[in-house]
Amino acid sequence: MTSLDTEWPNFAGVPEEDSLISGRPRGQTLARYVWWDGEVREADSLSVHYYANALHYGTAVFEGIRVYPTARGTALVRLNDHVERLISSARLYGMKLPFGAEELARGALEVTRRNGIQNGYLRPLAYFGSGPIDLRPKKECPVRVFIAARELGTFLGEDALRNGIRVTISSWRKFHHTMLPTMAKASGHYANSVLAAHEAMDRGYDDAILLNQDGTVASATGQNVFFVKGGVLHTNDVTSSIVPGITRDCILAIAQEQNVPIVVRAFTREDLMRADEIFMTGTAAEVTPVRELDGAEFVTGKNTLGALFQRAYLRAVTGKDEKRLNWLSFVK
């Protein structure tokens, strides 16, 4: 177990704050307004055509953006990075977005303001709309864009953030980057994750970790995977068929600041089984520890390195770290 006071003295400047986890709602309440093709509209007045190419062939790209209350007002986390990744995903699918980065960012801020959301989650999504039944949607299908919103506190619940979750290695493999563009956050790709998540649920686990075609670890169903061994932080990179997560990038930035040794490489199921700690990162899941992997138990708790990363991350996204205010875009 890593000790806050001895091995990681730099983290001593990150005070414990139980309020970062407790008191946040877990439910997911849909918001009243949606930013739809450039204007804010009532959600109940909107629909997607039943012949939208995206419904039939999974040709949509999307993002997830967290919203938190701060002392300076409501803030969106890494907004510009999420917008840029949406644009990049669209490019990989030959999708020409009718809006630029600045318009999309303004739309995200506006729909947050109109809905009065504080603890929330935004879902920007671009998709190929209705047109001929064709596997060449960029030829005739219009590109539609919306930004939906919902209230969201703790995604997996307080107990998951405090004490960790139980996960299993899925029998389903993550697709290789020569099969699909793994760096794109595309809706059709997530059928892979749905299969793994259902399998984990049927086995009695909270989530699954997928291996890639090489037999090394790819990711969880919607999160990047980290482990700690001997005080060294390990994670993989895009060569392991991952979406390079924005929360993952936050953790790596915090690790560099705190002088935590980092190894970025492909790793195996065996590496995970031999780890001292495992945790997952994602916009919705934040920093979630793993307490069990296929029956093997792992240390969790407030004095673990994973918990220190969780604390530092939650302080940053809620505006309590002056050095990380550039991660936040404030609603005015």
The per-residue DSSP string of 28-49 comes to EEE-SEEEETTEEEEGGG----
Token look-up 């979750």 returns 165
Are 293 and 272 in contact by the 8 Å Cβ rule? The answer is yes
Q: What is the mean pLDDT of residues 213-235?
A: 97
Q: Which two tokens stand for residue 84?
A: 């840029």
Q: Is the pLDDT of residue 19 over 80?
A: no
Burial 89-117 (b: 16+ CB within 10 A, else e): bbeebebebebeeeebbebbbbbbebbeb
Per cent of the chain over pLDDT 70 is: 94
Question: If residue 305 lies in a helix (H) or strand (E), which one and from where to where?
Answer: helix 305-317
Q: What is the pLDDT of residue 15?
A: 63
User: SS3 of 145, please?
Assistant: strand
Q: Is the pLDDT of residue 2 over 60?
A: no
Round to whole Å and give the CA distance between 18 and 304.
16
pTM exceeding the 0.75 threshold for the entire prediction:
yes
Q: Return the closest-CA partner of residue 258 out of 317, 318, 321.
A: 321
Average pLDDT in the chain = 94
Q: Return the closest-CA partner of residue 88 out of 108, 70, 104, 76.
A: 104
Q: Which CATH superfamily is domain 9-16+157-319 in?
A: D-amino Acid Aminotransferase, subunit A, domain 2 (3.20.10.10)
Q: What is the pLDDT of residue 3?
A: 43
Q: What is the pLDDT of residue 11?
A: 62
pLDDT-derived band at 13 (thresholds 50, 70, 90) equals low
The per-residue DSSP string of 61-117 comes to EE--EEEEEETTEEEEETHHHHHHHHHHHHHHTT---SS-HHHHHHHHHHHHHHHT-
Q: What is the pLDDT of residue 5?
A: 43
pLDDT (tens digit, 9 = 90+) per residue, 62-101?
Answer: 999 999 999 999 999 999 999 999 999 999 999 999 999 9
Torsions phi, psi of 35, nearest 5?
-85, 115
pLDDT (tens digit, 9 = 90+) per residue, 286-326?
Answer: 999 999 999 999 999 988 999 999 999 999 999 999 999 99
205 burial type by CB count under 10 A (0-12 exposed, 13-18 middle, 19+ buried): buried
Q: Of these residues, 96, 174, 185, 332, which one is catalytic?
A: 185
Would 9-16+157-319 and 28-152 be classified into the same CATH topology? no
Are 72 and 317 in contact by the 8 Å Cβ rule? The answer is no
Note the CATH architecture for domain 28-152: 2-Layer Sandwich (3.30)
Strand partners, 209: 169, 220
**Parallel, antiparallel, or unpaired for β 60-62 and 328-330?**
unpaired
Q: What is the pLDDT of residue 153?
A: 86
Are 66 and 74 in contact by the 8 Å Cβ rule? The answer is no
Look up 96 and say whether it is catalytic. no
pLDDT-derived band at 225 (thresholds 50, 70, 90) equals very high
Q: What is the mean pLDDT of residues 135-157?
A: 95
pLDDT-derived band at 6 (thresholds 50, 70, 90) equals very low
User: SS3 of 215, please?
Assistant: coil
Judged by phi (left if over 0) then psi (alpha if -120 to 50, else beta), residue 140 lies in: alpha
> Which residue ranges make up each domain of the chain?
9-16+157-319, 28-152
Round to whole Å and give the CA distance between 218 and 212.
5
Q: Which two tokens stand for residue 117?
A: 């959301």
Q: What is the mean pLDDT of residues 96-109?
A: 98
